[in-house]
Amino acid sequence: MIFDEIGQYLTQTARLAGYDETMNVTFSNMPKICDFQCNDCFSLAKKYGENPFEIAQNIVNSIKNKEDFVFEAVRPGFINIKMTDKKMSEIGNEYLKDERGGVPMHEHSQRVIMDYGGANVAKALHVGHLRSPIIGESLKRLYKFLGDKVIADAHLGDWGLQMGLTELQLYLDGYLDYYFKGDKKEPNITLEMLNEAYPKASARKNEDEYFKAQADEWTLKIQSKEEPYYTIYKKIREVSVKEIKKHYSELGAEFDLWYGESDAQEYIDKAIKIIEDKGLARVSDGALVVDVAVEGENVPIPKTRDDEVQRYKNPMPPAIIKKYNGGVLYATTDIATILMRNEMFNNPDRIEYIVDLRQKNHFVQVFRVCKMSGISPENQILLHIGNGTMNGKDGKPFKTRSGETIKLEDIIEMLVEKAGEKLKSNGVEYSRDLALKIGVGAMKFGDLINNVDKDYVFDLDKFMSFEGKTGPYLQYTAVRINSILAKTGMAKGEFFVSNEEEREIIRNILKVNSAYELCYRNKTLSPLCLAIYNLASAFSTFYNNYNVVNEKDEKLKQSYIALLMLVKNKLAQALNVLAIEIPQKM
């Protein structure tokens, strides 16, 4: 990156001037005065007992023939660095030709498995499942863009009690007579049946102990592949997965693997044996547990129903890997899944989970068991990237007016409707597909601009605004540039800097380029969202002040067009990483 280059140069120069220290360069806080700055003379002043301004002067005086930059020592001890117009122009042309637009690839590519999605089969997807595919998809695209080899796994929840509950309810409702009584025709299990059966059964299990016990039994029968339970399960899974795939595709989440918890079952015995052979397991109240506590740790107790957070000196509880009745748990499945992934994909460098922050303790337990037992090799990174919740305006997890959790399907329809209204009021003829792109884009940007671990408020009006830090504003900027380019044609000449607004655009392009690495390091998309917003507004300022289409000076006009193409490319590149589509029109 450009400031690394200047930093290295300054480090050498400082050495010539007698100061042995790495000099770092950052973007300037005062772009009117300079493009970059170096603040390291203050620490040098402490080290060498000299005045920081004099040090800055000494270093600047030692600079010889660095022609693309102008260096200036300023009080009380900064080095200001301005890039020449010539260098800015060169950068613009270089990025325009480079298909990566000047974003370097990592030298060492890592093999990564990403676990995001986590939808549960037979249950309707709800708002709690929204952030994981949004964040996961973008992080995946970012990693790939920077050179990692990534496999995305949807890791469906397809092996739990919800299966027994749903199947039992369908049976009680008379839909499964064909399988159990041999009469009627083979039923066509539909989504509507499932959407009705699960909530009904789920409510009943809390009041009816006998029903709950029966559902447990049905679950066990499915898990031991007993017929006809297992065949019916497979049908339920199929119908449900089809629906899940539809929703993920509307959200733009693409998976390489559609494995579920059920796929890890054949690795469970092996995983438990590895753990037992290491002497890590002990029996407690009939269950098999692994102690994972670390001395002196203080684990916060998860939020209670009343949303109070209790904290006290409290070690991590043991991981339960087998229930008293021999059943396996969520932790067991995740441990077995890590074993499966390591065997199938030859110990990837990283396995990352984008899952609700509230599952933190679960992942700590799972990861510790895998590390202690060697199921995960020492040098493998296991990482839980915990996301905060999407809240309503009351600051609590988003609910319907009547207090129920909102189905993902309903959220998507809300987005489509709102985007449709906007398009209509702008006089644009539109299809559902267009409204979907804009609605989902708005939602995603409203999510990704926040740090992953923070909660945020779902504010549809704000997200959908065509102005400000929003998805539609960025989409609109790209659409607008496309339509100008459709009029002018592509640039037939080189770009050269001719005004301050263009310098501001180039500076912002450099910032966008450096945002990728920041996002990679911090596992968040927020810096990229902010950087492209700033680029789009720098573009708007330029475009308001200069008449590109009617510029008489042909050379200047072509330079403007080249700049438009450059901005468009940078926006498109970033929106692609964010998995936000650019519509045809808006």
Q: Which residues bind ligand ARG (CB under 6 A)?
A: 115, 118, 120, 155, 157, 334, 353, 355
Give CA separation, 453 vs 149, 253, 382, 541, 580, in Å: 25, 20, 17, 33, 21
> Whole-number minimum distance, CB 225 to ligand ARG, in Å?
21
> Whole-number minimum distance, CB 157 to ligand ARG, in Å?
3
Q: Can you name the residues that pair with 387 across neighbouring β-strands?
A: 356
Dihedral (CA of 227, 229, 235, 238) sign: negative
- Which residue's CB is nearer to ligand ARG, number 405 or number 451? 405
Alpha helices in 451-493 (DSSP H): 460-463, 471-488
> Whole-number minimum distance, CB 335 to ligand ARG, in Å?
10
Q: Whole-angstrom Cα distance, residue 25 to residue 298?
A: 39
- Which residue's CB is nearer to ligand ARG, number 101 or number 160? 160
- Which residue's CB is nearer to ligand ARG, number 264 or number 434? 264
- Which residue's CB is nearer to ligand ARG, number 155 or number 557? 155
Do 93 and 212 touch, CB atoms closer than 8 A? Answer: no
Residue type, 154: A
> Whole-number minimum distance, CB 133 to ligand ARG, in Å?
11
Give CA separation, 456 vs 441, 449, 528, in Å: 16, 10, 18
What is the token pair recorded at 560? 């403007």
Query: Where in 43-196 does DSSP place strands (E)?
Result: 69-74, 78-83, 111-115, 149-153
Give CA separation, 302 vs 299, 306, 395, in Å: 9, 11, 18
- Which residue's CB is nearer to ligand ARG, number 287 or number 329? 329
Give CA separation, 164 vs 197, 205, 412, in Å: 11, 11, 29
- Which residue's CB is nearer to ligand ARG, number 70 or number 344? 344
- Which residue's CB is nearer to ligand ARG, number 340 or number 531? 340
At CB < 8 A and 24+ separation, what contacts does 49-55 make?
51/77, 52/76, 52/77, 53/77, 55/17, 55/19
> Whole-number minimum distance, CB 239 to ligand ARG, in Å?
18
Going by their DSSP bridges, the two strands 287-290 and 319-322 should be labelled as antiparallel
> Whole-number minimum distance, CB 167 to ligand ARG, in Å?
18
Do 424 and 430 touch, CB atoms closer than 8 A? Answer: yes
- Which residue's CB is nearer to ligand ARG, number 120 or number 387? 120
- Which residue's CB is nearer to ligand ARG, number 244 or number 582? 244
- Which residue's CB is nearer to ligand ARG, number 147 or number 327? 327
HEC secondary structure over 259-297: CEHHHHHHHHHHHHHHHHHCCCEEEECCEEEECCCCCCC
- For the chain, the maximum distance between any two Cα atoms, rounded to a whole number of angstroms, is 95
Residues 249, 255, 259, 264: what is their CA dihedral angle, to the nearest 10 degrees? Answer: -140
> Whole-number minimum distance, CB 237 to ligand ARG, in Å?
14
> Whole-number minimum distance, CB 354 to ligand ARG, in Å?
8
> Whole-number minimum distance, CB 364 to ligand ARG, in Å?
13
> Whole-number minimum distance, CB 267 to ligand ARG, in Å?
14
Do 21 and 40 touch, CB atoms closer than 8 A? Answer: yes
Peptide bond into 228 cis (omega under 30): yes
Find all residues with CB under 8 Å of 496, minimum gap 6, and list them: 85, 89, 559
- Which residue's CB is nearer to ligand ARG, number 263 or number 334? 334
> Whole-number minimum distance, CB 129 to ligand ARG, in Å?
7
Helix or strand holding residue 353 (H, E): strand 350-356
> Whole-number minimum distance, CB 271 to ligand ARG, in Å?
14
Q: Whole-angstrom Cα distance, residue 198 to residue 184?
A: 23
- Which residue's CB is nearer to ligand ARG, number 53 or number 345? 345
Closest to 567 in 3D by CA, of 453, 487, 477, 454: 477
